[in-house]
Structure 1
Amino acid sequence: MASKIPVVVLAATGSVGQRFVQLLDQHPWFEVVALTASERSEGKTYQEACNWLLSTPMPDWARSMPVLPTHPTGIQAKIAFSALPASSAKDIEPEFARAGMAVCSNAAAYRREPDVPILLPEINAEHIHLIPAQRKNRGWDGFITTNPNCSSTGMTIALRPILDQFGVKRVFVTTLQAISGAGYPGVASMDILDNVVPYIGGEEEKIEWEPRKMLGKVQGDQIALADFRVSAQVNRVPVVDGHLVCLSMELEKKTSPDEVIQALRAYQLPELCQGLPSAPQPPIVVMDEPNRPQPRLDRMRGDGMTTTVGRVRVDPLLDIKMVVLSHNTIRGAAGGSLMNAELLVKTGFVK
């Protein structure tokens, strides 16, 4: 690429915003030209405004950057990476889309909109074809794409080859979700230490609906939802990063665990994803050990972008069950939006 594409990170001081800054450091295609945050941080340098939480140092280029208001005026960027909370994203993200930017959002605000794709390029890159309809419907020069809920991410990637080869009727999901998914400061230590919290507001509804949109088919200017049902139970557990998802599935075509493992291992990135800097290769890794995957040991596989599957076996009530791990703040958040942006560049939606 002759010159890097200018990008802005919205809500850059929060935990997901920091992950964007970390992942964009020395990115081969993108250059951060602006960082935004809330009013209390405006006018400060990023170093002054940000309580850096990640284990790698704050990039040198970010330290002295001024924190700007979260408004497109004066920001010369082509892509806006949004780490905004959903309540703010609803009003703010369209401002950047109207200003001509491609908004790659981690927020849930627009996921249910029929003309807004929830992208996981490994499995539904063709959903970018909703973008022209979105622009036409809303009169925007830019557009919004979203990545899914952090627990929906890994399970949906794992479901893709299973749905394609065997069909899926019903899915029962139990999640064990890391505390970083709650942001910072997140769950109080006295609530999570020596404990499991069996509730995360709004999470079960997202997991029960989002995979059906992501695995659905483009029909005209919207997505026809995939025809299976999902039941979810969610839990917050005392793990820093990495969401485990326990899946039990009823399939349309009866099969064996070995055949499911073979389908998962054979799954390859679609042609549209070949060459994307953040794309994991392979997208899915299946482990044979009886006690894997584990968050601490396996969450950074593929630089945190790989979906790891283990314990594939017969389910005595349904058909097949397994455990899926994905890194919630990389593949399930900032890294997901970053890969979406790379796909938009490769397909010409961002130039």
Structure 2
Amino acid sequence: MDSYQVGVLGATGAVGQKFIRLLENHPWFTIKALGASKRSAGKKYKQAVHWIEKTELPSASANLKVKACAPEEFKGVDFVFSGLDSSVAGDIEKNFAEAGIPVISNAKNYRMHDQVPLLVPEVNPDHAELIKKQSFDPEGNGWIVTNPNCVSVPLSMSLKPLHDAFGIDSLIVTSMQSVSGAGYPGVSSMDIVANVVPYIGGEEPKVQTEATKVLGTLSDDTIAFNDFKIQATAVRVPTIEGHLLSASVKLKNAPSSIEEAEEAFTNWKNPIANLELLSSPKNPVRLYKEDRYPQPRLHADREGGMQTAVGRLREGTVMDLGYVTMAHNTIRGAAGGAILNAELLTAKGFIS
């Protein structure tokens, strides 16, 4: 595989820092440029960032001069990762795409755009074909791809085996979301220590729509959303990393036994396994049969933080099935998911 020069937008934020850590030794992608706000532009990255990652700040990035998030500042990069806040991401990402620089984004701004893939490689790799329908850049060099919200990723991953085997009719999901999902400095300690906050602004509408696009069907120039309904509740809990979801699912064709439901997970085949992408976990969806699993502290970091865990799979009393699922929110649900998207798009020739 060739080596590619990449930029990171929003490099000083929590997601931007995760990009920098995960890309430190990536054999395909080398960080060439870092972008942040005007107050950080012109400084060395080590002077501009309040580093919150568990590992040391990579020396190669530490001494890069931070640039303004403008296409003319990123000449020579093959594409950019965006960890920008949604309050500024819309115009900036559009400017890069129109300038012929591909954008692989973690922001929400273009997730519902008709021609922008909302990509989870193990679930809907064919949706990448939408790139060819985008009109940001008349020459087709600049485009935007997004990854879903940090709850919608494990939800989509856990629904995929059930959808393939039985079809999804509807579901009720409650997400118990760690404090790292609020960015840095995050939630006030007076709000979250020894407490649960039963509302996260703007979260529930994303959970209720994004999985229906991810599990939708590619048509000529857009995605036909799946027609199942989702009722979502989002709460903040005092864990650090890893969002845990409790789901109750009504299926179109209910399994005859819980063993048949288990087989849907254990027999499910990863559609991108043959590509051997570096960030793709060997076992993307793991079914745990221990009653106490999965747990954020024990399982969020499995397979580099890229695995989706499923457990407590059981017959329902109102719906057909109940289960819990979990994934690392800032890796699988954010920067790591975007890097996997880039690997998929590279392997498929969208990045050249």
Give the TM-score of the pair, scaled to structure 2.
0.97
Q: Is the CA contact 2:122–2:272 (under 8 Å) kept in the aligned structure 1?
A: no
Is 1:48 the counterpart of 2:42? The answer is no
1:260 aligned residue: 261
Q: Is the CA contact 1:135–1:141 (under 8 Å) kept in the aligned structure 2?
A: no
Distance (whole Å) between structure 2 residues aligned to residue 272 and residue 90 of structure 1:
33
Matches within 5 A, 1:113-262: 113-135=113-135, 141-255=141-255, 256-262=257-263
Q: Is the CA contact 2:136–2:143 (under 8 Å) kept in the aligned structure 1?
A: no
Q: Is the CA contact 2:247–2:322 (under 8 Å) kept in the aligned structure 1?
A: yes
Figure out how many residues of one structure are paired with residues of the other and give that number: 350
Q: Is the CA contact 2:98–2:137 (under 8 Å) kept in the aligned structure 1?
A: no
Secondary structure of the corresponding residue to residue 175 of structure 1: strand
1:67 aligned residue: 66
1:7 aligned residue: 6
Alignment identity in percent? 45
CA RMSD of aligned residues (A): 1.3
Amino acid aligned to 1:81: F
Distance (whole Å) between structure 1 residues aligned to residue 73 and residue 187 of structure 2:
37
Shift of 1:284: 0.6
Distance (whole Å) between structure 1 residues aligned to residue 279 and residue 137 of structure 2:
31
Distance (whole Å) between structure 2 residues aligned to residue 184 and residue 273 of structure 1:
37
Distance (whole Å) between structure 2 residues aligned to residue 74 and residue 284 of structure 1:
40
Secondary structure of the corresponding residue to residue 236 of structure 2: coil
Distance (whole Å) between structure 2 residues aligned to residue 107 and residue 136 of structure 1:
17
1:21 aligned residue: 20
Amino acid aligned to 2:31: V
- CA spacing shift, 1:126–1:100, aligned 2, 3 Å: same
Secondary structure of the corresponding residue to residue 150 of structure 1: coil
Amino acid aligned to 1:299: A
Distance (whole Å) between structure 2 residues aligned to residue 137 and residue 60 of structure 1:
35
Tell me the alpha carbon deviations over residues 50-94 of structure 1, each in whole angstroms, 9 at most, x when there is no partner.
Answer: 111011111111111111101111411111100001121110001
Tell me the alpha carbon deviations over residues 124-165 of structure 1, each in whole angstroms, 9 at most, x when there is no partner.
Answer: 000001111113797753100000000010011010110111
Q: Is the CA contact 1:97–1:140 (under 8 Å) kept in the aligned structure 2?
A: no
Shift of 1:225: 0.7
Secondary structure of the corresponding residue to residue 133 of structure 2: helix
Secondary structure of the corresponding residue to residue 39 of structure 1: coil
Amino acid aligned to 2:216: G
Secondary structure of the corresponding residue to residue 345 of structure 1: helix
Distance (whole Å) between structure 2 residues aligned to residue 119 and residue 218 of structure 1:
12
Distance (whole Å) between structure 1 residues aligned to residue 138 and residue 128 of structure 2:
16
1:304 aligned residue: 305
Shift of 1:257: 2.2
Distance (whole Å) between structure 2 residues aligned to residue 57 and residue 271 of structure 1:
32
Q: Is the CA contact 1:268–1:282 (under 8 Å) kept in the aligned structure 2?
A: no
1:277 aligned residue: 278
Distance (whole Å) between structure 1 residues aligned to residue 79 and residue 253 of structure 2:
43
Amino acid aligned to 2:61: A
- CA spacing shift, 1:195–1:271, aligned 2, 3 Å: closer
Q: Is the CA contact 1:276–1:339 (under 8 Å) kept in the aligned structure 2?
A: yes
Shift of 1:240: 0.6
Secondary structure of the corresponding residue to residue 41 of structure 1: coil
Q: Is the CA contact 1:8–1:32 (under 8 Å) kept in the aligned structure 2?
A: yes
- CA spacing shift, 1:128–1:273, aligned 2, 3 Å: farther
List structure 1 segments (4+ residues) > 2 angstroms apart after TM superposition.
135-141, 271-274
Shift of 1:100: 1.6
Tell me the alpha carbon deviations over residues 292-340 of structure 1, each in whole angstroms, 9 at most, x when there is no partner.
Answer: 1000000011100000000000110111000001000000000010000
Secondary structure of the corresponding residue to residue 171 of structure 1: strand
Distance (whole Å) between structure 1 residues aligned to residue 274 and residue 152 of structure 2:
20
Secondary structure of the corresponding residue to residue 190 of structure 2: helix
Distance (whole Å) between structure 2 residues aligned to residue 51 and residue 186 of structure 1:
14
